[in-house]
Amino acid sequence: MSSRPSAPPRPPRSRSAWPYLLIAPTVAGGAFLLLYPLLKAAVISFQHFRMGELIKGGAAFIGLENYAELLTGAEFWQVLLRTLAWTTINVVLIVVLSTGVALMLPRLRRSLRLAVMSALALAWATPIIAATTIFQWLFQSELGVVNWLLVTLGFDSFQGYTWFANGTATFAVLVILVVWQSVPFAALTLYAGLTTIPAELYESARIDGGTGSQVFWKITFPMLRQLFALVASLEVIWVAKCFPQIWVLSQGGPDGATTTLPVYAFKVARVLHRYDLGSAVAMLTVVILAVALISNLRRMVRS
């Protein structure tokens, strides 16, 4: 009995260029909007570029003079240290609070969980300027709700307290604002990660007598280590480049107490018309963030 002849091998399917052509305009537009401002700022940072050059053009190349001026001055290092403190405080609070909220959500009844998640989504969707304006009203010295509440609770020293005249108080208000805006995204992201962990692991841990902290550090955190690293990286970017909240609420004051690197770059360029120096600050900010995030992402990929 003769065997059936085997079918000839199919030729390899050639990949069509049509999908790439469809996404090419979007990719090109996104790359242009991202790369052109970055490259333009990099070029200006190596030039003598002030009001005259902005109007007439013809900026002269001066090499690393702008960077030398920044790195040899005390003000830049003060702003850098303040930015590091600002970023660290906010990111730690965001990650800790969002982790607590994410762990709380599965323990709520379905209706209550839906209400909490809706409230988080609404807080996250609130426009930045609108939220900042609301916080200005809340902490207003005479008619603010916060002062009224504190006085009602017996803290009479807050009668007419001017939050935005004190650097530490203004810094604290901005931290509360940024944390309030950031926790919803991080909490919902971590909650989504929690739903991917098999319930059998938690049941086995309970049978073995594991406490809540042991379950978190032995099961939850190891399973979601990369997600925690990703959330922390995104929050570092969000907090470090935070500008609208600071500028609307305090414009970097009082006495520079809330001036971070993005605010400092804007103030240098806007007030002093030192567009070259402001661009140098911006580029140093990009480099610092890139180094921090690349090292963190490398550890995340290795783990």
Q: Looking at residue 285, which CATH number applies to its domain? A: 1.10.3720.10
Amino acid at 230: L
> Structural domain tally of the chain?
1
| HSE value, Cβ hemisphere, 13 Å, CA-based, for 126 | 22
**Greatest CA separation found in the chain?**
104
Contact present, 224 and 268 (Cβ < 8 Å): no
173 domain residue, yes or no: yes
In b/e form, how buried is each residue of 147-157, taking b as 16+ CB within 10 angstroms? beebeeeeeee
Contacts of 245 (CB under 8 A, 6+ apart): 128, 131, 132, 174, 177, 178, 181
Query: Alpha helix locations (H) across 155-274?
Result: 167-194, 199-207, 212-215, 221-223, 225-240, 244-249, 261-271
| HSE value, Cβ hemisphere, 13 Å, CA-based, for 133 | 5
44 domain residue, yes or no: no
Per-residue pLDDT of the chain (303 residues; tens, 9 = 90+): 445 555 556 655 556 788 888 888 888 888 888 888 889 889 989 988 888 888 887 888 898 999 999 999 899 999 999 999 999 999 999 999 999 999 999 888 999 999 999 999 998 988 999 999 999 999 988 888 999 999 999 888 888 889 999 899 999 999 999 999 999 999 999 999 998 888 888 888 888 777 878 888 888 888 888 889 889 988 998 999 899 999 999 888 888 899 999 999 999 988 888 899 999 999 999 998 888 888 777 776 666
153 domain residue, yes or no: yes
Q: Which two tokens stand for residue 28?
A: 């090109």
CA separation for the pair 253, 275 (Å, rounded): 21
253 domain residue, yes or no: yes
145 domain residue, yes or no: yes
CA separation for the pair 76, 80 (Å, rounded): 6
CA separation for the pair 59, 10 (Å, rounded): 62
12 domain residue, yes or no: no
233 domain residue, yes or no: yes
DSSP conformation class of 259:
-
10 domain residue, yes or no: no
Q: Which domain holds residue 121?
A: 64-302
Q: What is the pTM of this model?
A: 0.86
Contacts of 159 (CB under 8 A, 6+ apart): 147, 151
The per-type count for the chain, helices as H runs and strands as E runs, is 15, 2
CA separation for the pair 52, 9 (Å, rounded): 71
